[in-house]
Amino acid sequence: DTEDARQEYIWLQGEEIRFIYKKNRIHCNYLMALGHLGLGNNEKAMKYFNIAAEMDNNHQGVQIHQKMI
């Protein structure tokens, strides 16, 4: 029972790490897009907004800023 509980904990911890990694990747792409948007590089901005949107199609910041281009 103790070993099963330990394996369950390790599995949950791994899922949490994957979730955090995905959220970080979405945020990094969103920030890259904002940086390019600020520099006037609309093509590159849209590229990074699209990557973030593919990972999280409900990201409100991405949705708002994509409409600005």
pLDDT of residue 6: 65
Dist. CA 27–CA 56, nearest whole Å: 10
pTM over 0.85: no
What are the b/e assignments for 18-45, b being 16+ CB within 10 Å? eeeeeeeebeebbebbbebbeeeeeeeb
Dist. CA 14–CA 21, nearest whole Å: 10
pLDDT in tens, 42-65: 999 999 999 999 999 999 999 999
pLDDT in tens, 22-45: 899 999 999 999 999 999 999 999
Q: Own/partner pairs for 38-46, CB < 8 Å, 24+ apart?
A: 42/69, 45/69
pLDDT of residue 4: 67
pLDDT of residue 54: 97
